[in-house]
A and B are shown apart, each in its own frame.
Chain A
C-alpha cells in the first residue's frame, strides 16, 4: 500500500501546474493520433489521456473488476469477487520529437506492482524511430493491445496469457516506423531485448510455459543466455479491408554458460504469430483473431511432459445490436459477441506409443456487453471450456459466468 501511495504522490507532484519555465509547445497531448493512422502496434498510444494544459505530463489508466461463478466437473469455489488490476499510464513530451510513456500495473491478488512499459521514443523519420527502455515485445496483437476496456470479455485470451506471455515486456531497444499511401498503411517494429530463461521448461505448470519467464525480474538487468531476444513485426492495413500482422520472436533462452564455463547446450525458442482484424462495413461486425506457433528446443533427455511445439489462438466476433441513448447515456452501445479459443501446449506424439499427446483446451465464450461510452464497458460472459490432460484422458468440463466492469479513467 505504501508503494501505491508513493506512486500517486509522485504522479500528483509531477502534474502540479508550477512549470512556468516550460516550453508551452510541449503542453499538449503527446500521444495524439488520428484513429485512421493507427495499427495494432500503436495500441500503447491509442489510449485516452488526461492532459493538464500547463503540464508536460499526460495521465491515464484503466481499471478492471469482476464477479465470477465458475465450476469444473461439479466443483465450484462459488461466488468470486475480483479486483483484477488497475493500470496507470504516464506520458510525457520531453521535446517535440522525444516522448516518454509508461504503464504501471497494480494487481492486488498477486501483490504486484509492475512496470509493464516505460520507454523513450525518439523520432527521426516516419520510417525510422528509435525506442528504448522497457518495451513490450510485439508478438501477435494482444500483447500490445491488452487494455481491458477494449475487449468484450472479462478474461484475456487463453492463448495470450497461458501460451504466449501477455504483457510480456523486457529491457530493450528497437526501431519502428510507418508508411502511408492513401488507404494503405505499412508499419514495422524490430527490437533486441532481454528475454526468456530456463523457467519456460522448468516450472510448476508441468508444461512448456512461456509466461513463467515473467516472474524473472532479473531479466531487466541480465540476459540469462547472454544473447538478445529478437522480436519483429510487420503489419499492413487497408482502411476498407482490415489489418494483418506477422510477427516473430526468437533467440537463445537458456543459461548455457556461467562464469565462463559451459553448462549446457544453447537452446532456442521461436515464436511466430499471425493476427488480423477488420470491421465488416455493412453490419459493422468487428472481427479480430490471432494465432501463434511456438517452437522450443527442449532437451531430448527431458520429459515429454514439456512440449517442443505449441499452437494456440482465438477469434472474437463482436456485433453491435443497439446504438442509441440508453438510461441517459447518449450513443450507448449493446454488443453481442463470442470468443472461440484453442490452445495446444504439446503438439506431437508420445515416443513410446505413437499416440497423440494431449494437453490442449478449447473454449467458447458468448458475451453481451454494454458500452455507455467508448471508454467503458460492462460485460457478461459465459464460458464453456474443455481441457484435456497430457495423456489425452477424458476432458475436464468447465463452465460459468463472468460479469465485469472495465473503464479507462
Chain B
C-alpha cells in the first residue's frame, strides 16, 4: 500500500467513525420501561433545576466529612430509590415509638426512626424496650409532583368516613399539624388547625418539602435550616445541606414523570382493568385524578392515573404493626399509588417486595395480605377463576 492509499484509507475510516459512532452505542430504553426522567414540557430553566436536583438526589453521596450520620440509614437519596423506584429490604427503614394520636413517646430515645447504621467509631441505635415498630420499604418517587397537586377538595370528596355508600370502605384523610417551615397551599382545607397530609405510608408528610427534609435528617443524618437538629446528639448544628439543594431535590421529585402504562390496549389488560373495578379494588386505588394549578405548566391541570385516593384505610389486624404516625390508627395505611407497580422489580433486584414493609414477594401475595376495608375486594378476587385473576395481575404489571 503506498502512502497515498494509506492516507485515503485512513481518512475514510476516520470519517466513517465520526459519522457513525453513535450507531454503535446502546439505544435508550423505551420511556414506558423506566421510571426516571423528567415530565415532558419543562422549560430550559426548569430542566436545569431538574438536573441539579437529579445530581443531588442520585449522585451526592454523603460521607462523615460532609455530614453523614453519625447514625444513619443510607448514604444518599438514590441509595434507597434506585432508578427512582421502590426499595428493598436492604434499604427498608424502621420507625418506632408511637401507638396512637398522643404522639411518639420515644422521641427522647431516638424515635421516630431507627438509625440502624453508624459511621466508624459510633454505635447504631436500638429499638428501646417497650416501643412498637414498623418497617417501611421506600416507595417509588415518580409522579409525586402530580399527587402533590391533587386538591384537598378532591381528596375529601373521595373520603367516606361513615361508609355511607355501604361498600365497606371508609377512607379518611390524614389531618395533621404543619411544621414551621411549611407554608400551606392557598386552597388548603383546614380543620382545627390541621391540614391534609398525603405523603408517606401513614400520610404523615404534608408535601414533598416536608418529606424531603425529614428524609435528609432521619435517613442520612443531614441537618438543614428546616431540620437543624442532629439525630445523634439532638442538638442544633450547622446546616449540612443548603436550602438551594433541598429546593432542587424537591423540584426534581415534583417534576419526575408519571409512570406510563404499557400495552394498555391489550385485551387481557383491558379485561384486567375492568375486573379491577368490578371487584372494587378501585374503591381505594382510584384510577383517575386531576391536578390543580401549578406554576410548572407541565404539571398544571393534568389528568393522571395513579390508582390511589391518598386516604387512610384500616387494613386489618395482619397489617397492624402496632406503630403509627400523625393521627392515623396503627391499622391504617395510606393507599399507595399503583402506577409503576410493574416496573418495581427493576429497582428491587429483579423481584417484588410489596406492601409497606416488602413482606409480599408477588402481586398475588400482596392482594392476599389485604384485610380490613379491603377484605371484601380480596374475597371477590378469590372467587374469580384463574384466567380472570391472571388478567388482573397482567393489568397490574402493565402499570
Contact = CB atoms under 8 A, between A and B. Distances in A.
Interface of A: 69-76, 79, 198-199, 201-206, 254, 263-264, 267, 299, 301-305, 326-328, 350, 352-353, 355, 358, 380, 382, 389-394, 397-401, 403
Given A206-B76, A327-B6, A403-B17, A76 B121 contact: no
Contacts of A263: 121
A262 B360 CA distance: 45
B61 A352 contact: no
Interface magnitude class on chain B = 35 or more
Closest CB pairs A-B (n = 6): A74-B28, A71-B25, A397-B26, A352-B89, A264-B121, A69-B21
B209 interface: no
Please report whether the interface of chain A is mostly helix, strand, loop or mixed according to DSSP: loop
5 contacts: A69-B21, A72-B26, A74-B25, A74-B29, A206-B75
Given A202-B119, A302-B118, A352-B90, A391 B25 contact: no
Contacts of B25: 69-71, 74, 76, 399-400
Nearest to B60: A204
B61 A401 contact: no
Contacts of A350: 88-90
Nearest to A303: B117
B180 to A, nearest CB: 32
A406 B158 CA distance: 68
B388 to A, nearest CB: 31
Contacts of B6: 326-327
A199 B26 CA distance: 34
Contacts of B27: 74
B211 interface: no
B88 A353 contact: yes
Nearest to A72: B26
A202 B64 contact: yes
B349 A302 contact: no
Given A327-B6, A353-B89, A393-B347, 12 more contacts: A201-B120, A203-B61, A267-B120, A301-B123, A303-B74, A303-B117, A304-B90, A327-B3, A358-B349, A391-B347, A391-B348, A401-B21
B82 interface: yes
A392 B120 contact: no
Contacts, number: 118
B262 to A, nearest CB: 15
B121 A71 contact: no
B83 A393 contact: yes
Contacts of B348: 391, 393
Contact of A305 (B60, B79, B121): B79
A74 B22 CA distance: 9
Contacts of B64: 198, 202
B12 interface: no
Contacts of A397: 26
Interface in B86-108: 88-92
Contacts of A71: 22, 25-26
B24 interface: yes
B26 A202 contact: no
A393 B117 CA distance: 23
Interface in B39-62: 60-61
Nearest to A386: B26
A399 B24 contact: yes
Given A74-B28, A398-B26, A254 B21 contact: no
B122 interface: yes
Contacts of A203: 61, 63
Nearest to B63: A202
B124 A301 contact: yes
Nearest to B118: A301
Given A203-B63, A327-B3, A403-B17, A76 B117 contact: no
| Max chain A Cβ within 10 angstroms of own Cβ: one of B7, B27, B60, B349 | B349
Contact of B82 (A198, A201, A389, A400): A389
Contact of A303 (B18, B21, B75): B75
A201 B61 CA distance: 12
Contacts of B91: 391
B29 A401 contact: no
Given A74-B27, A328-B3, A400-B24, A202 B65 contact: yes
B346 interface: yes
B61 A206 contact: yes
Interface string B12-38: 000001100110111111000000000
A119 B69 CA distance: 41
Contacts of B265: none
B349 A391 contact: yes
Given A203-B61, A393-B346, A302 B26 contact: no
Contacts of A72: 26
Nearest to B17: A401
B22 A76 contact: yes
Nearest to B10: A327
B61 A204 contact: yes
Contacts of A264: 120-121
From A204, A205, A350, A392, name the one whose CB has the most chain B CB atoms within 10 angstroms: A204
Contact of A75 (B28, B75, B90, B118): B28
B61 A302 contact: no
B130 interface: no
B295 interface: no
A390 to B, nearest CB: 8
Chain A CB within 10 A, most for which of B6, B61, B90: B90
A357 to B, nearest CB: 8
A353 B26 contact: no
Nearest to A350: B90
A254 B74 CA distance: 21
Q: Which of B17, B25, B119, B122 has the most CB of A within 10 A?
A: B25
Contacts of B28: 73-75
Nearest to B351: A355
Contacts of B1: 326-327
B350 interface: yes
A393 to B, nearest CB: 6
Contacts of A398: 26
A355 B349 contact: yes
A84 B120 CA distance: 36
Best-surrounded residue of B21, B64, B89, B348 (most CB of chain A within 10 A): B21
Contacts of A399: 24-26
Contacts of B89: 350, 352-353
A355 to B, nearest CB: 6
B218 to A, nearest CB: 16
A305 B17 contact: no
A302 B120 contact: yes
A407 to B, nearest CB: 17
A73 B26 contact: yes
A197 to B, nearest CB: 11
A203 B75 CA distance: 10
Nearest to A212: B63
B346 A394 contact: yes
A239 B12 CA distance: 42
A354 B71 CA distance: 24
A352 B137 CA distance: 13
B240 to A, nearest CB: 15
Contact of B63 (A70, A204, A382, A403): A204
Contact of B75 (A74, A305, A403): A305
